[in-house]
Structure 1
Amino acid sequence: MSDRQVINGTVYKIRTGISWRDLPDRYGPRKTGYPCFRRYALDGVLTQALQEIQARADAAADIDWLVQIDVTSSTHVD
């Protein structure tokens, strides 16, 4: 199974919400997808990839870093 298949299969799984066992054959053997994903996650590969993608997008001004936080608090008094 190639790294590209693992990444594409992971993206497909997340986008569709299907289970790992239901991944189409084009993403490689069904029993290989999740173990590869888990290994990449534990080894920090996915975090590094996301950081690289964000850094490139930021350098190209493709990210709007405006953050809004809505903190709504209510106090219940009996």
Structure 2
Amino acid sequence: MGDFFWFSDAQWARIEPLLPTDVRGKPRVDDRRVLSGIVHALRCGGRWADCADVYGPKKTLYNRFVRWSGRGIWEGIFSTLAGAGDAPDRL
């Protein structure tokens, strides 16, 4: 299916509680799918237009990234994931 990024079950269990639950209006596109797509885009140069459809609508990826950046949610996600790993053997 290609070289896509997907959060593992263990990673998702750590970050899911950090996600906002104040949803109004239309139901949100699946968070795990969208967040995996955002990380994939960031790893591949940040071009939203190049994201695969498996991650959901490109506009949704972009909007969620921008909205959650302004609220500090990404900082919490990456801090949590970085703190979960073992120290590297070398730098």
Q: Which residue of 2 aligns with 1:24?
A: 52
Aligned length: 62
User: How high is the sequence identity, in percent, across the aligned residues?
Assistant: 32
Q: Which secondary structure does the structure 1 equivalent of 2:87 belong to?
A: coil
Q: Which secondary structure does the structure 2 equivalent of 1:5 belong to?
A: helix
The alignment's TM-score, normalised by the length of structure 2, stands at 0.57
Structure 1's unaligned 5+ residue stretches are 68-78
Q: Which residue of 2 aligns with 1:45?
A: 73
The alignment's TM-score, normalised by the length of structure 1, stands at 0.65
- The CA distance in 2 between the partners of 1:16 and 1:51, in whole Å, is 21
In the TM superposition, structure 1's runs of 4+ consecutive aligned residues that sit over 2 Å from their partners are 54-57
Quick check: 1:6–1:37 contact (8 Å CA) kept in 2?
Answer: no
- The CA distance in 2 between the partners of 1:37 and 1:45, in whole Å, is 9
Higher CA-based Rg: 1
- The CA distance in 2 between the partners of 1:42 and 1:13, in whole Å, is 18
- The CA distance in 1 between the partners of 2:78 and 2:46, in whole Å, is 22
Does 1 or 2 have the higher relative contact order (CA < 8 Å, sep 6+)? 2
* 1:10-40 Cα distance to aligned partner (Å, 9 max, x none): 1211222252122111110121110101111
